Amino acid sequence: MTRWQLRPIARVLAMLAVIAGLSACDVNAVPRQDEAVKAAWSQVLNQYQRRADLIPNLVETVKGYAKQEQTVLTQVVEARAKATQMTLPADILSNPEAFKQFEQNQAAIGGALGRLLAVSENYPDLKSNQNFLALQSQLEGTENRITVARRDYIAAVQTYNTTLRTIPSRWVAAWLYPDAKVKETFTISEQAQQVPQVKF
């Protein structure tokens, strides 16, 4: 074979080597993992919405039995309104401030609901009301679903962020997906991290 005949073969072999190298780096990892993060985030939002949808019925049920607990009821309604009226920016997953605000709003709902359920202990008639018991059960189930959805989201973000920060996938992402950004994840508030003090 002449030198001119070997050039096309060398080019094909070089292209095959490049393709093999890129496939070994999993070129599609970033978009695939980004989609997994988005799907997990959608499930988190879905479960928070489920909780928000249960709140009006719970408040109405409690209102009939615990009229003097107006402050707690108002706190629940206000926390729900604040959380559901927040406009989520398109870049919330890579925007630390917006993500933190979302997380704080959802934590406020959780805290207000906790106070409402604690107050319900003072009303035996309310605790035996079938509607209240059903709503309380649905809320507990929803809180469990929120926990699972958040866990799944955190795992998806960990995989995605690791891909963006480790070599060689970091290089592939910088070259093929320059707009890819590290995603935010849920944190535990400083208040929740404090060890409770037991006093007798």
Nearest to 72 by CA among 36, 104, 120: 120
Domain count, the chain: 1
**What's the pLDDT at 185?**
92
In degrees and rounded to multiples of 5, residue 121 shows phi and psi of: -60, -25
Residue 80 lies in a domain: yes
183, burial (CB in 10 Å: exposed 0-12, middle 13-18, buried 19+): buried
Question: Residue 111 corresponds to which tokens in the numbers above?
Answer: 């805290």
**What predicted TM-score, i.e. pTM, was given to this entire model?**
0.80
CB 89, CB 95: distance < 8 Å:
yes
Cα(8)–Cα(30) distance, integer angstroms: 33
Residue 19 lies in a domain: no
Residue 149 lies in a domain: yes
Q: Which domain holds residue 96?
A: 26-188
Residue 200 lies in a domain: no
pLDDT tens series, the chain, 200 aa: 566 566 777 777 777 766 656 555 678 899 999 999 999 999 999 999 999 999 999 999 888 888 778 888 999 999 999 999 999 999 999 999 999 999 999 999 999 999 998 888 888 888 888 989 999 999 999 999 999 999 999 999 999 999 999 988 898 899 999 999 999 999 876 555 555 454 44
**Count helices and strands in the chain by DSSP H and E runs:** 8, 0
CB 154, CB 93: distance < 8 Å:
no
Residue 11 lies in a domain: no
Residue found by looking up tokens 């599609």 in the block:
28
CB 186, CB 48: distance < 8 Å:
no
Cα(118)–Cα(78) distance, integer angstroms: 18
CATH number of the domain where residue 84 is located: 1.20.1440.20
